[in-house]
A and B are shown apart, each in its own frame.
Chain A
Amino acid sequence: MELWFTERHTPNVKFSIKVDRQLYTGNSEFQRIDVFDSKEFGRFLTLDGYMMLTEKDEFIYHEMITHVPVAVHPNPKNILVIGAGDGGVIRELTRYPSVESIDLVEIDELVIEVCRKYLPSTACRLNDERVHIYYEDGVKFIRRCENKYDIIIVDSTDPFGPGEGLFTKEFYGSCFKALREDGIMVNQHESPFYDEDAAAMQRSHKRIVESFPISRVYQAHIPTYPSGHWLFGFASKKYHPVHDLNAAKWNLLGLKTKYYNTRLHAGAFCLPNYVEEMLRDVE
């Protein structure tokens, strides 16, 4: 018997992982949630059939979306994380003793519940006393915030389904308002490779550029996401993502990471020509 999980990356491209067994399936008010176990990637979480994370490669995504902004900001104390019900971003953030408060806004309570139960490797730090969880639509939560956060991390799903609102200009504008005068917003920025992903990537880049004075894009290699080539957005009111990186200070913290290091930090902002061109087209 062979059991395979398959996700369509484009109408003409499929990506499959051989499944050992299904650990969970359920429907929340917002989406279908599944957790599988596999020989190659360990446990993995899918929402509405789209890959969210696998135990084998989640470290790449979570380290890159977290350590890049935290290493640039000189004094990050109050942090807002939107989405991220799996807890991976929280796990990385709680490694910094200087962080005082982390607000986590996740629309779907069931995602957190399922991750706590089946994905302890990412959900392990959700009980940290600095973490405050709000089960709310991120678009609504952020609307009421003003001059409050040092860093906002937008760990969204794709720009269709429940995460759609997290790719809109009204949302990015609200994030700008919610950040302090030297605040940084980092977001999951889709992929430049396949046409439809690239179009979504350009759309959100355009909206961020219109909302923030500094807006740069960096990349990472994430094997289980469509094409494997993934981007993150770095939007900021004051700090440049590379020039304002204090590498020595970060390295003194002595954090052990699997993917991130301060040399890679600078390198990640060097993009292939075709990606630079796509970004320029909408800037």
Chain B
Amino acid sequence: MALSQINAPIYEALRKFRRMRVVPFDVPGHKRGRGNMELTEFLGEDCMNVDVNSMKPLDNLCHPVSVIKDAEDLAAEAFHAANAFFMVGGTTSAVQSMIMYACKSGDKIIMPRNVHRSAINALILTGAVPVYVNPDVNNQLGIALGMSVSQVEQAIRENPDAKAVMVNNPTYYGICSDLRRITELAHAHNMLVLVDEAHGTHFYFGENFPVSAMDAGADIASVSMHKSGGSLTQSSFLVMGKAVNADYMRQIINLTQTTSASYLLLSSLDISRKRLALMGREIFAETVEMAEYARSEINSIGGYYAYSKELINGDSIFDFDVSKLSVYTLPVGLAGIEVYDYLRDEYDIQIEFGDIGNILAYISVGDRKRDIERLISALSEIKRRFGRSGADMLTQEYISPVVAEAPRTAFYAEKVSLPLDEAPGHVCSEFVMCYPPGIPILAPGELVTKEIIDYIRYAKEKGCQLTGTEDINIERLNVLV
């Protein structure tokens, strides 16, 4: 019988397998949880029962021939792709796989500088060389936007030997570049188009969202099913068009992917894909309704600016993802990270992130109307209790980097550790970023400037969680000798 989107082959195989009551003399050693009762009581027997190893009835992620193959085919269909892979190492592994597919050592790749660290990590792994397109910056909000088509065009003209163009669709804040035109341009110059859709799963299933990578004709996309798609943390899809050699892609994925893929993650991808394929339209309509309601209520508080499609400028903000609830906080005299901390410490509300000027609350179908009311009221109270005049606030979120070395060269080069104040003028050999959002302030190979050090100090002072450096306290920076 032919499979359709109502099927979830991995999930169905696991249910069947559970009924077979097979005696396990294989790994995992907890043996359906019996060997680790405390863990079983914590996670539940049902969960431990399906934490099993690859075997004939359950297929093998490294070399899928039966139920995983079927599930991947259904996923490809759901994402309008020629092929899809289940990824169990997070969207990080998907981003790295698509870059490793496109680029070998020394190959150039055109990308916006506000990529996630996973993309620059891939450059260290492969030795590919980035050609950064500086994203446009909205001076009012201080956030990095999408890439303008003319800047991409210029980068392509100046680097006709580049192998690929990478695009965020959308950015963490919900901003989309003109993916269709960038794809046309790249293809006209024989470059692959790689899309980081960590925040764009819903584009494939909802209505009136920005165009998805596959629909725009892009070649490969990394899709975080575990964000708006509802699967378990760390599970993700890599989807690709006809022009991509899927068998070679599998080899690339297998270079770094585990050989013991978790069936908890795989089944969660399978079930979530089915759910979105069947009900995604209603699910995301509800999500957008909640986000729109929250936006209008937050804007009526005054001071806060919950932005949306009015930002669209036809180029670097070609489209906006209205399911995102991004709020600009500086007019109430508080940095985004301060509002983020107040929400958690004072009101027991955890949001996705706060940076210098913005917060992002992640809205999904799991939210309840009354929780949205709490979030809005808490923001209103934070303004009343802690609001200040907006003076003395650093607004700049994005500083254009000066790239002195390729990331891989800088990362592996001989280096010396300097106190932050002595670092300006040197070339950095490591990352510095606030996490989340995980977009590097400094990446390996970039010139350290006083402006960047000031920014790092300001972010630290405001309470951003900084990561990336070898020095866990971010007091010192590794720079090239």
Do A and B interact?
Answer: yes
A141 to chain B, nearest CB (A): 10
Residues of chain A lying within 8 A (CB to CB) of residue B378: 168-170
Residues of chain A lying within 8 A (CB to CB) of residue B56: none
Residues of chain B lying within 8 A (CB to CB) of residue A74: none
Q: Given the interface contacts A143-B376, A168-B347, does A173 sit within 8 Å of B370 by beta carbon?
A: no
A174–B381 Cα distance when bound, in Å, is 7
* Contacts of B308-354 to chain A: CB distance below 8 A: 346-348
Contact of A165 with B380 in the complex, beta carbons under 8 Å? no
Which of B346, B347, B369, B380 sits near A143, CB closer than 8 Å? B380
Number of interface residues of B (CB under 8 A): 15
Residues of chain B lying within 8 A (CB to CB) of residue A139: 370, 373-374, 377
A169–B347 Cα distance when bound, in Å, is 6
Contact of A137 with B381 in the complex, beta carbons under 8 Å? no
Complex: chain B residue closest to A173, CB-CB:
B381
* Contacts of A162-209 to chain B: CB distance below 8 A: 162, 164-165, 168-171, 173-174, 177
Residues of chain B lying within 8 A (CB to CB) of residue A171: 374, 377
Residues of chain B lying within 8 A (CB to CB) of residue A143: 373, 376-377, 380
Complex: chain B residue closest to A171, CB-CB:
B377
A139–B378 Cα distance when bound, in Å, is 10
Contact of B370 with A174 in the complex, beta carbons under 8 Å? no
B18 at the interface (CB under 8 A from A): no
Contact of B385 with A173 in the complex, beta carbons under 8 Å? yes
B384 at the interface (CB under 8 A from A): yes
Q: Given the interface contacts A170-B347, A177-B384, does A162 sit within 8 Å of B370 by beta carbon?
A: yes
Contact of B374 with A168 in the complex, beta carbons under 8 Å? yes
B366 to chain A, nearest CB (A): 16
A140 at the interface (CB under 8 A from B): yes
Contact of B373 with A173 in the complex, beta carbons under 8 Å? no
A247 to chain B, nearest CB (A): 36
Residues of chain B lying within 8 A (CB to CB) of residue A165: 370, 373-374, 377
* Contacts of A127-169 to chain B: CB distance below 8 A: 137, 139-140, 142-143, 162, 164-165, 168-169
Residues of chain A lying within 8 A (CB to CB) of residue B381: 169-170, 173-174, 177
Complex: chain A residue closest to B378, CB-CB:
A170
Contact of B370 with A169 in the complex, beta carbons under 8 Å? no
Number of interface residues of A (CB under 8 A): 15
A139–B380 Cα distance when bound, in Å, is 11
Complex: chain A residue closest to B370, CB-CB:
A165
Q: Interface digits, B362-387 against A, CB 8 Å rule (1 contact, 0 not)?
A: 00000001100110111011001100
A52 to chain B, nearest CB (A): 19
A140 to chain B, nearest CB (A): 5
Chain A contact residues: helix, strand, loop or mixed: helix
Q: Interface digits, B282-309 against A, CB 8 Å rule (1 contact, 0 not)?
A: 0000000000000001000000000000
A173–B370 Cα distance when bound, in Å, is 17
Residues of chain A lying within 8 A (CB to CB) of residue B346: 169
Q: Given the interface contacts A169-B346, A170-B347, A173-B385, does A164 sit within 8 Å of B370 by beta carbon?
A: yes
A173–B378 Cα distance when bound, in Å, is 9
Q: Interface digits, B36-78 against A, CB 8 Å rule (1 contact, 0 not)?
A: 0000000000000000000000000000000000000000000
Complex: chain B residue closest to A107, CB-CB:
B370
B378 to chain A, nearest CB (A): 4
Which of B347, B373, B384, B385 sits near A137, CB closer than 8 Å? B373
Residues of chain A lying within 8 A (CB to CB) of residue B385: 173
Q: Given the interface contacts A143-B380, A177-B384, does A170 sit within 8 Å of B370 by beta carbon?
A: no
Complex: chain B residue closest to A168, CB-CB:
B374
Q: Given the interface contacts A139-B374, A165-B374, does A170 sit within 8 Å of B380 by beta carbon?
A: yes
A49 to chain B, nearest CB (A): 19
A170–B373 Cα distance when bound, in Å, is 10
A165 to chain B, nearest CB (A): 5
B387 to chain A, nearest CB (A): 13
A263–B297 Cα distance when bound, in Å, is 46
B345 to chain A, nearest CB (A): 10
* Contacts of B379-438 to chain A: CB distance below 8 A: 380-381, 384-385
Residues of chain B lying within 8 A (CB to CB) of residue A142: 377
Residues of chain A lying within 8 A (CB to CB) of residue B373: 137, 139-140, 143, 165
A30 to chain B, nearest CB (A): 9
Residues of chain B lying within 8 A (CB to CB) of residue A164: 370
Residues of chain B lying within 8 A (CB to CB) of residue A168: 347-348, 374, 377-378
A52–B381 Cα distance when bound, in Å, is 30
Complex: chain A residue closest to B376, CB-CB:
A143
Residues of chain A lying within 8 A (CB to CB) of residue B380: 143, 170, 174
Residues of chain B lying within 8 A (CB to CB) of residue A140: 297, 373, 376-377
Contact of B376 with A137 in the complex, beta carbons under 8 Å? no
A6–B28 Cα distance when bound, in Å, is 45
A170–B385 Cα distance when bound, in Å, is 11
- Besides the known contacts A139-B374, A170-B380, A177-B381, 14 further A-B residue pairs in the complex with CB atoms under 8 A apart: A137-B369, A137-B370, A137-B373, A139-B370, A139-B377, A140-B297, A165-B370, A165-B374, A165-B377, A169-B381, A170-B378, A173-B381, A173-B385, A174-B377
- Pull 13 A–B residue pairs with CB atoms less than 8 Å apart, ordered by A: A139-B370, A139-B373, A139-B374, A139-B377, A143-B377, A143-B380, A162-B370, A165-B374, A165-B377, A168-B374, A170-B378, A171-B377, A173-B385
- 9 tightest A-B contacts by CB? A170-B377, A170-B378, A173-B381, A139-B373, A170-B381, A140-B373, A143-B377, A165-B370, A137-B373
